[in-house]
Amino acid sequence: MLEQIIEGLFLTLRVDTFAFMAIGLFGGMLVGALPGFTTLMAMAILLPISFFLDPVVGIPFLLGVYKGGIFGGSIPAILVSMPGTGAAVATTADGYQLTKKGKSRKALDMALFSSVFGDTASDIFTLLMIVPIAYLVLQFGPPEIFAILTMSVVIVAVTAGKNPLKGLIMLAFGLWISFIGSDPIGGMERFTFGLFELRGGIPLLPLLIGLFALPEIVKIVGRTNVGEASVATILGERLTLAEFKRCLRTICRSTVIGTCIGIIPGLGQMVAAVMGYTAAKNASPVKENFGKGELEGVAAAEAANNAVNGPTMVPLLTLGIPGDNVTAILLGAFVAQGLRPGPTLFSEQGPVVFGILIAMVFANLMFLVIGYLSIPAFARIITIRSNLLVPLVTMFAVAGAYVYRSNPNDIIVLAIFGVIGIIASAAKFEVMPLVMGFILGVPLERAFGQSLSLANGEILQFAIFERPAMVAILVATPFLAWMLRKKMYAD
Amino acid sequence: MVKKAELYVTSGIAVMSVLALVFLNDLIAKQKMIFGQPSIEPDLFPALTISCLLLLVGGLMVKIIFFAETEVFDDQDNEEAEDQSYYRIGSYFAAMLAYGIFLDDLGFVISSCLLVAFISFLLGSRSFVQTLALAVIAPVALYVVSTRGLKVHLPELDVIERAIQTVFQVLGLS
């Protein structure tokens, strides 16, 4: 393992890796800072760029967008009480109050330092834990894999929105879409309606851009104040070392919370931020100051939401399960690069994967420097009008869907999934379970088929006496999903 | 508004599911028995999934029709959704589809120029110079970065490709 880590380190130490990571961080902060433009949208649109770069350049570039975007979202949350991303919702509570008191610079500095701390600590945890977890996963057979995949998709579906039924419907719909093409075991055609173009299945990239980016763009297009801009100013002194030290305990607590939440598929940054904030408030001797401009509130939310970033890679790389919508996009990047996530990934492509994980740690250090120097510039970006940006974003989205296969049909697929995303949004259905169902449909069906083969017709006997772990996971799934849902909505 | 949309969506999925289950044999090719009995028929997992989907949709429809008061939606969201400019959204999608259709024939630069200019105008930009600058610079920059930097193929007319090539030669960059 140590050899692979060292080899990965040398693979990462390239000028182009650092240059593209810096571009990604800058781009992510830019998009995150623009209210209405989400990190998810940016990642979906920039995903095709990563296909044409080396894996140790392209994937760190996307990770840069991700990390930069999560922090970028806190800039408008603090300055104009308008969270740039969902993850920054908890930051708004105290961040904007600090701005009203003329301490916006302190709040932004605290957001940056706690983000970098949380992110770096969780990335190091990921780097150390991922191989033992992958080794454990290697001991699993198809029945256990089937049970774990089922548990993951059910948790994501049930926790995706207010109504668990809607999440489960979208999950089943996503599975159905994954059936289009050839079946993974016998290679027989399914739901192709005789169309040659559908034999290879629905392409992932236009589906992701269509479902994640187009509905967001259309929301901006539909707004009446599209040409208006917000006013943002940075005031006050910088954060002092004493203030940072005072919040260090809170930052560490939030980092642990965010790291634990990151490993569980489906919960994501917003839940981590809210839970980190609530825990900090409960532990504080000055509870009453929370929500009125308490620096600890900003630190708690930001450390927690950024600590999710690293651990989401654990289920992604060891089992191929994307923990949230951003990692679903990262999965697309891995697959396009010929890196098929799963327990064997480390034996087949160990140095490359470690190179990517090490790049995540370097990205945090770059993020600290770029963020510290460029906060004032990003504060001005909030004032850029959407009517200048939407045309460019649209051009990127459509060209991005086209370039991967140079197939004009992909633009039609993009538009179809864009419409599905818009309809889902109008009827308050979350699209994440659909994407999870689509991505995990093939491995789920393969594991299901292999498990049936192993059972040799004696399904119950096989499950209870030979595969008790599978039964335990399947039985625990509804209870775990219910508990997580309860916890999520209680906070 | 949301309740109606929910009902339409669930009804649509229900109809699709019923049709899929009825015509499943026609929609899925039969397994060929070349290497003996397959471990799983190609229609088994889809049939299970679509049946579950139908049950879930049925449950949601019952909930929407009979227990609608349990669903609490944000009124502000409804108002926002109703206030959305359908004209702008429709025009936006029409422009995007036209872009997809004419991309091969007009080439990337010209079709992107037209798309960017149209959307800028649609979103209220009335500065001719600003719109023109955005519509020309952005597609050309993206084309050059994609084809020269990332070595990606984008459809382009020979005339424009030659013009860009000439500019590169003059600048000594080719």
Q: In this model, does residue B69 exceed pLDDT 60?
A: no
The boundaries of the domain holding residue B140 are: 86-170
ipTM: 0.84
Q: In this model, does residue B70 exceed pLDDT 90?
A: no
pLDDT attached to residue B36: 62
Q: Write out chain A residues lying below 8 Å of B57, CB-based.
A: 169
pLDDT attached to residue B1: 58
Task: Give 3-state DSSP helix, strand, coil % of chain B, rounded to 5.
Answer: 75, 0, 25
Task: Give buried/exposed letters for A444-479 (b at 16+ CB in 10 A, else e).
Answer: bbbbbbbbbebbeeeeeebbeeebeebbebbeebee
pLDDT band at B46 (very low <50, low <70, confident <90, very high): very high
Is residue A81 packed enough to be buried (19+ CB in 10 Å), middle (13-18) or exposed (0-12)? middle
Which of A133-142, A468-477, B48-57, B79-88 has the least mean pLDDT? B79-88
Q: Does B79 share its domain with B94?
A: no
Q: What are the φ/ψ torsions at residue A413 (nearest 5 degrees)?
A: -60, -45
CB A3 within 8 A of CB A44: no
CB A425 within 8 A of CB A197: no
Question: How many domains, in total, are found in chain B?
Answer: 2
Average pLDDT, rounded, for chain B: 81
Q: Which residue does chain B place closest to A214, by CA atoms?
A: B93
pLDDT band at B12 (very low <50, low <70, confident <90, very high): very high
Q: Does B92 share its domain with B79?
A: no
Q: Write out chain B residues lying below 8 Å of A190, CB-based.
A: 27-29, 42-43, 46
Interchain CB distance below 8 Å, B60 and A185 = no
Q: Does B78 share its domain with B90?
A: no
pLDDT attached to residue A84: 59
Domain locations in chain A? 2-490
**CA dihedral defined by A416, A420, A425, A429, rounded to 10 degrees?**
-160
Among B83, B109, B136, residue at a domain's last position = B83
Interchain CB distance below 8 Å, A408 and B100 = yes
Q: Does B24 share its domain with B78?
A: yes
The answer to whether residue A138 neighbours chain B at the CB level (below 8 Å) is no
**Maximum Cα–Cα distance for chain B, whole Å?**
73
Residue A74's nearest CA partner among A44, A46, A96 is A96
Q: Does B108 share its domain with B64?
A: no
Please name the member of A163, A172, A221 whose beta carbon is closest to the beta carbon of B89.
Answer: A221
CB A180 within 8 A of CB A160: no
Vertex B125: Cα angle to B121 and B127 (nearest 5): 110
Q: How far off is chain B from A281, nearest CA to CA, in Å?
A: 27
Among B29, B55, B83, residue at a domain's last position = B83
Distance CA A411, CA B8 (A): 26
Q: Write out chain A residues lying below 8 Å of B118, CB-based.
A: 391
Residues in chain A: 491
Q: Write out chain A residues lying below 8 Å of B49, CB-based.
A: 172, 175-176, 179
Distance CA B57, CA A391 (A): 37
Residue B156's nearest CA partner among B103, B99, B116 is B103
Q: Does B70 share its domain with B54?
A: yes
Q: Does B91 share its domain with B60?
A: no
Please, where are the H alpha helices in A160-222?
A: 164-179, 204-208, 214-222
pLDDT attached to residue B89: 83
Please name the member of A172, A217, A394 whose beta carbon is closest to the beta carbon of B56.
Answer: A172
Q: Does B76 share its domain with B135?
A: no
The tens place of each residue's pLDDT in chain A, 491 residues long, gives: 778 888 888 888 888 889 999 999 888 888 777 766 677 778 888 888 888 888 888 889 998 988 888 788 778 778 776 665 666 777 877 888 888 788 888 888 898 999 999 999 999 998 888 888 877 877 788 898 889 889 888 888 888 778 889 999 999 999 999 999 888 877 788 998 888 888 888 988 888 888 888 887 888 777 655 544 445 565 667 888 888 888 899 999 999 999 988 887 766 777 788 888 888 888 888 877 888 888 888 899 889 988 988 888 888 888 888 877 788 888 888 888 888 787 778 777 888 888 888 998 898 888 888 888 887 777 666 666 667 778 888 888 888 788 777 777 888 888 899 899 989 988 889 888 898 889 888 888 988 988 888 888 788 888 888 888 889 999 999 998 888 888 777 65
pLDDT attached to residue A252: 93
A17: Cα separation from own chain's centroid? 21
User: Is B36 or B101 the better-scoring residue by pLDDT?
Assistant: B101
Tokens for A140, please give them.
């699993």
